[in-house]
Amino acid sequence: MSSNATITTDRLTLRPIQKRDAEAMTAMMLGHWEMRGYGLWAVTETGAADILGMVGPFFPDGWPETEIGWVMFDGAEGKGYAFEAAKAAISDARTRLGWRDIVHYINPENSRSIALAERLGAVLDPNAEQPKPGSHALIYRQPQEAA
């Protein structure tokens, strides 16, 4: 992303997340774990410390459905990590959390996430409710028997 990807309104500046924002972002992720008992996991290769991405159950207040979400960092894409982690997260959500309905909210321009959702067996649900008013996410629904 360009460092010039900044938007200014009459009262606000919307800017890319910076290192100085790490504490607030960490608090948001930890808060989900504290309040709900689950959240996105840090994905690492077994025995390694470097984080490859984050994958896991996510259900913020106001969202209509439970999601298994993912983000993989540079250098970790295209190696099957997201598939392996998402498959494990779906299984855990079904067994430990008792989730029957699982969706994936995906940016329409994110072809890798669309391909991953389809590889996991999810099907596009054009009638599903958006996670937030004004959102334009593609919503892929995970069948009960898949993954």
Q: Is residue 3's pLDDT more than 60?
A: no
According to the model, what pLDDT value does residue 115 have?
97
Q: pTM for the complete prediction?
A: 0.82
Q: State the DSSP code for 80.
A: S
Domains of the chain, each with CATH number or no CATH: 22-142 (3.40.630.30)
According to the model, what pLDDT value does residue 145 have?
65
Mean pLDDT of the chain: 87
Q: Is residue 4's pLDDT more than 80?
A: no
Separation of alpha carbons 58 and 70, rounded Å: 10
**Is residue 88 helix, strand or coil?**
helix
CB neighbours of residue 119 within 10 Å: 15
According to the model, what pLDDT value does residue 2 have?
45
Strands 123-124, 138-142: pairing is: antiparallel
- Helix then strand count (H, E) for the chain reads 3, 8
| E-strand stretches of 32-131 | 41-43, 53-58, 67-72, 102-106, 123-124
The per-residue pLDDT for range 48-86, each reduced to its tens digit, is 888 898 899 999 888 999 999 999 998 999 999 999 999
Residue 84, amino acid: E
The per-residue pLDDT for range 120-138, each reduced to its tens digit, is 999 999 999 999 888 899 9
Residue 35, amino acid: M
